[in-house]
A and B are shown apart, each in its own frame.
Chain A
Amino acid sequence: MAAKGNAPFSFQEKTWEKYGAGYSGLVVAPTGFGKTFSVFLGVLADFMNYPEQYASGLKLLWITPLRSLAKDLARAMQEVIDEIGLDWSVEVRNGDTDLKAKQRQSKQMPDVLLVTPESLHLLLAQKGRVKFFQSLKCVVVDEWHELLGTKRGVMVELALAFLKNEQNKLRIWGITATIGNLDEAMQVLLTNSKKKTKIVATEKKKIDIQSVFPDEVEILPWSGHLGSKLVEKVVPIILKSKSTLVFTNTRNQSENWYQLLLEAYPDFSGQIALHHSSIDGNIRQWIEEALSEGKLKAVIATSSLDLGVDFKPVDTVIQIGSSKGVARFMQRAGRSGHSPFETSTIYFVPTHSLELIEVAALKEAVKTKTIEDKTPMLLTFDVLVQFLVTLALGGGFKADVLFDVIKNTFAFSEMTEQEWRWCISFITTGGHSLKSYEEFHKVVENEEGLLVVEKRRIAMRHRMNIGVIVSDAMLRVKFISGGYIGMVEEYFISKLKPGDKFILAGRVLELLRIKEMTAYIRLSAGRAITPSWIGGRLPLSSNLSQFLRDKLSQSANNHPTEKELKFLHPLFVKQQETSRIPNVDEFLVEKITTKEGCHIFMYPFEGRLVHEVMASLMAYRISRLYPISFSMAMNDYGFELFSDSDIMLDDKQLAQILDRKNLMQDVFSSINATEMAQRKFRDIAVISGLVIQNLPGTQRSNKSLQSSSGIIFKVLEEHDPQHLLLRQAYAEVFNQQLEEPRLIAAFERISQSKIIYRTATQFTPLSFPIKVDNMRQSLSSEDLAQRIAKLQKQNLRKKPKRK
């Protein structure tokens, strides 16, 4: 590196020193500052100092969350090795690696191997696994912040515990961007390492955040339509930049923006591209390459491009709509201006005017470096039983020996012996009672007392399904003339008839027929529907909501300094006139009576998921006062209860329903936990092997083994209610869906706030977007815009003023 004229950063030098002293550790540094070389050069230096300690074979195992990162990383590593003049070889092994290379690796491992968590587990499922790892000195987990808090992170924990048990002196290093809970991140990764250290880079990435303002402030904002007005302002930004990444939050939104940009500036045709997870891998790879080579003016992407190799030509990033979290926003901003001393520029395009407050909040959060935690997952038995079968495949294991190894992971440190025995019986006899699972066949004990998989068919199926990423049943979309274009959910395509048109990858496609998990299409033109892919609707993080409440309350005073708040001034005035802008120590409740009925709005600013629970809870508590039924709507800022009869609530009753006493009991009574658990069980069933995933493009060779997780959930609830995987589903509901700690904190805060209860006869700027979201549920999209325009007119007799 010195030869290239780069002086090392101090965190790099420190990493080399600690690595040399035999430490494991966690390196924390922003992207673009050479995190990779901190640990990698440490390993090389150690080898050159003590070559006698290194045997031939695999020495360094490098785990990355993303396949696309591996190839470039391997190239960069090999370059360094060649420059130094070592004879080490660096290779990649993942789903993209061809069979021949894999076979060669299995015979003779390279010195450095780059894998994903999934491909590592696949290696552990091979009989030769002991041989593969016998010379291993170091495992590096790259982008640990991406894995922590997910089931893939648990996969890494399990694999590390297994490897560490085989090689006691193994050094483990994590590399991570800044997150809120770094100490915990280190604890999870390095539970088994005695000598460990955390190395934090002091270097900081500069981020410049620019808001894109509409011409006029919309006093009654609603989400979704502002894009078409702002596209005219986005075009010049793209034109003046070398290359731009446009981030959207959903695939649907990215398809729409692609169309909008082409309509606004037809010359973009051929110069811009669309990148999301439903677009075929080959096309995506082509786009990524074209982007690296500077051939594309802009790429409209979803989180599919959050991570990955740096695209050198990209100098501008545009974020459409709320990023929902500080970490994600900073990560996306960092996709432009890569060199350590460049500034990353990100433009924020609001989808409704209220989102501009979020920019003010984000700026504050970035300034104070208040970044979200990644909460590690615990006791994910679905991942564990999958791992146990994986180990049974790769030569087997002894249950009592492995128990201690698993107990040593962070995720399973609280596992009881009883739960462990359940997991073993789940894979050997099927379940707790032998009788009720007769004829079960999966893992058996062999003569040496090892638990192994004997049947080839079971082994093959397990290998194909290793991993914890569960997608909806997807169909590959293929041109009748040949060539794939991408994937769509089976759910979406099942509603279409041959001849119907839909949009994918920016093109209008006509459905011809469906055969063996493949939808055959041809190019078409004219009106078409964009699939609304399920999922991807992230709630606002609690960090961001804190800043949001602060900014909103600041805007209540008349002299805000931030541009965004100044711009929104007319909206705030209207809110103050018709209701109130809550101060930090206030909690606002609005009761709005219109022709159609009575609306109660509350604004906890805690994100959609928490609001969903709170809305059910409020509805439940009110209905205990007197009989009434509600419909509910929510966004990230607040929620609505609507009833066609009057919702009578005096101040005392309001205080009563907002009370934090008996909070969780009432939550349990108000929600349908079974239904929520059933949804969570979907992933669990696939990961644990109860449901076999239909892989896109493959023939349904397992058709006689198909069933849905919903059916299995019901069966188990009825016949085996103590099933550990069912209990896990409920636990996931409480931890993730209900966000219990956040819910309790919210009520804690509300109970200390002054409750402001306002009544109105027209919608306020804060309530309007929630109301509109509710209308969206019941109306088709064509008349929605008209209906809303009418509603806006009714509400605002005078026209909104120009800024």
Chain B
Amino acid sequence: MSTPLTDEALDAIVAVLRDELARERPVEVPGLGTFRVEHQPATVDSTDEGSRLRPPRNTVVFAPETD
């Protein structure tokens, strides 16, 4: 018998994931995969038109669970 997935439960799952990722902590969801935040430091992109400094940023990546 499965537990019904209510809106409240779904919102709670999303909120937990968002909070943990905001703290840059990886989160493993059993049966699904692992979410984590990858930090990308500031970089300088050089093009024909000149160089641009890009600020640092975080990116969310997901590694699916392999069977």
Q: Are these two chains actual partners, yes or no?
A: no
